[in-house]
Amino acid sequence: MSVANGDEPLISFQLIGLHGYKNIRLDFQNKTKIVIAENGAGKTIFLSSLDAFLSRNFLKLSNLQFDRIECELAGLPRPLILHRNQLHTISEDAQRLLQEFTLYSDASEADVRDAVRRIKHHDFREVPIFHRVWTNSPWSSEGTLDRIRVLQTALDVDHSDEAENVSSTLKTILGSTETLYLPTYRRVELSRSKRENRRLHGRPSRLQRRSLSEEPFEQPLSTSGINYGLADVEDRLGYLTEYIQRQSNIGYRKISAAIIDDLLAGRSAVRDAQHEPLPEIDTLRLFFSRIEQSSNDAKQRLDAITNLYNSGQINDVGHEPLRYFLARLAKVVNQTKEVESDIERFVQISNEYLSRSGDQKLLLYDATQMKVKVMNVWTGTEIRLDDLSSGEKQVISLFAHLYLSQRQKIVLIDEPELSLSIEWQRRLLPDVVNSPTCLQLLAITHSPFVFENELDACASPFDVTRTRNETIGS
């Protein structure tokens, strides 16, 4: 049974026996939890452990000294318990290699591990995870395959049955819910154009490889705290806008085929369309601008339709075939509206920050050209994403994850105040909580400004206890 859509999955999380003497517990009363932590309280290890646990990254946990983890999740009658001695460890070299695979594949460590174990005799390029590794890494085909074999040897030993059961239960309960983790060492990577300079000559980009007819949110943005930046934002925006373009053209062609089929079959669909809603003129103008090769032809056609709308003649019996066509067209337009609305909301929320920056910048979405760009308000010139400040990049990257992907997320932020002005600190977490895909938020902070807002009641200190000269039971 997976967590119902909109339900907060986390009830409590405990890290017991950390370094042999420390116990840390956190209870989640609702959607939002803000923790005020002192230096040395163990906040970073706690948050990293929660991310590793929820992401089923048990190899990362195996490198940590602790006794056990206890986690209460909605939908389970009792806590999940994971003991440190139930985990398999691998060498530091293999662990680093596994982390590289997660970085280059934009996949979780658990998914990479599963793919390594399943690959067997398949060409690794036929496995999506390894194809992304090969494309995004500087490794040759042979080098990628050699590294897969190294991981196969290192991962040949499983975790215990108990640990595998915990992993399986987490996968079932959380379903497609992602964990978005922003550690204190987060950094925003270079843009896609700079990153792609590392690629071997002749390899297609991720955007080129994806089928533009697939669902627009099938490919999640990377949720790794290290690989968290502008390359993903540019890829996602480029992919979504090309998806809109592609679907508009496909839909237009399908309308023609459907009309012919209806007429050949003698169906009375033309009269049935008499009472169906028609697209607005502005919507038609935008649609035709995306599919027409000749702007003059599109303008003439649109002017004629506008005259029929304004005069009311569109409702005449003689224009029933046109109404039928336009009613069909309205359905095509609606297919991409959700994607376009997500882009517009992303631009809007980003601008609430950029417009208050020192130089007053704005994200602009050109719906006709289907391009998002950053503009300097004072000069009217375009700015590269690379040239934004660290805080601006972080905000744009974060909201790209929350608005340009439809997967629900548990958001974990270590020190959300980093690189942000006091004004931005005050508004960031409420905006994260109110975003469409934030299922639950945990932020751990040293700054009182991040909860100097409507989330003040959600703030509380860590529950940390220490045990001296005792063996912590299992």
pLDDT digits (tens, 9 = 90+) for 219-250: 445 555 434 456 678 778 888 888 888 888 89
The mean of the pLDDT values for the chain is 83
Please state the φ and ψ torsions of residue 70, each to the nearest 5 degrees: -125, 130
* Segments forming the whole domain that contains residue 297: 242-339
At residue 60, what is the residue type?
K
**What is the pLDDT averaged over residues 327-349?**
89
Distance CA(410)–CA(175), nearest Å, equals 12
Euclidean distance between CA atoms 225 and 213, whole angstroms: 30
| SS3 call for 322 | helix
Mean pLDDT for 462-472 is 72
DSSP type of residue 229: S
Amino acid at 213: S
Q: What is the 3-state secondary structure (H, E, C) of 108-145?
A: CHHHHHHHHHHCCCCCHHHCHHHHHHHHHCCCCHHHHH
pLDDT at 265: 74
288 within some domain: yes
From the number of C-beta atoms within 10 Å of its C-beta (0-12, 13-18, 19+), residue 468 rates as: exposed
Residue 319 lies in a domain: yes
Considering only CA atoms, which of 244, 240, 205 is closest in space to residue 219?
240
Give 447 or 268, the one with higher predicted confidence. 447
List phi, psi (to 5°) of 368.
-75, -50
Backbone phi and psi for residue 408, each to the nearest 5 degrees, phi listed first: -70, 150
* pLDDT recorded at residue 2: 59
pLDDT of residue 348: 96
Does 362 reside within a domain?
no
Best-predicted range by mean pLDDT (58-72, 324-338, 350-364, 431-445): 431-445
What is the number of domains present in the chain?
A: 1
The residue among 208 and 109 whose pLDDT is bigger is: 109
In a domain, 125, yes or no: no
% of the chain at pLDDT higher than 70: 83
Q: What is the pLDDT of residue 50?
A: 97
Distant-in-sequence contacts of 259-266, Cβ < 8 A, 24+ apart: 259/324, 259/325, 259/328
Structural contact between residues 216 and 405, judged by C-beta atoms closer than 8 angstroms: no
Q: Lowest-pLDDT range, 41-50, 122-131, 298-307, 457-466?
A: 122-131
- Is the residue at 299 inside a domain? yes
Which pLDDT does position 258 carry in this prediction?
81
Cβ-defined contacts of 232-235 (< 8 Å, 24+): 232/106, 232/397, 232/400, 233/385, 233/396, 233/397, 233/400, 233/404, 234/191, 234/192, 234/193, 234/385, 235/192, 235/205, 235/206, 235/207
Helix (H) / strand (E) element for 15: namely strand 10-18
Distances (CA, A) of 413 to 57, 269, 429: 18, 54, 10
Contact 23, 464 (CB under 8 A): yes
Q: Write the pLDDT tens digit of every residue in 98-138.
A: 889 988 888 877 788 888 877 765 678 788 888 889 988 99
CA distances from 463 to 9, 85, 244, 444, 466 (A): 20, 25, 49, 13, 10
Question: pLDDT per residue over 135-174, tens digit each?
Answer: 889 999 899 989 998 888 887 766 788 998 999 999 999 9
Contact yes or no for 387/376 (Cβ under 8 A):
no
Q: Helix 161-174 and helix 43-54: axis angle, to 10°?
A: 80
pLDDT at 54 over 90: yes
Residue 360 lies in a domain: no
Distance CA 442, CA 315 (A): 55
Q: Which residue has the tokens 């959607």?
A: 31
CA distance 105 to 316: 57
Give the pLDDT score at 209: 38
pLDDT at res. 157:
65
What's the CA gap between 194 and 444, in Å, rounded?
33
Task: Give pLDDT, residue 155.
Answer: 78
Strands of the sheet containing 459-461, edge to edge, are 178-182, 409-414, 438-445, 32-36, 459-461
pTM for this prediction: 0.79
Is 105:136 a contact under the CB 8 Å cutoff?
yes
Structure tokens at 102: 């997660």
101 within a domain of the structure (yes/no)? no
Segment 394-423 shows an average pLDDT of 93
Q: Does position 278 have pLDDT exceeding 80, yes or no?
A: yes
Return d(Cα 261, Cα 282) in angstroms, integer: 29
**31-40, 91-100, 122-131, 307-316: segment of lowest average pLDDT:** 122-131
Q: Is residue 117 part of a domain?
A: no
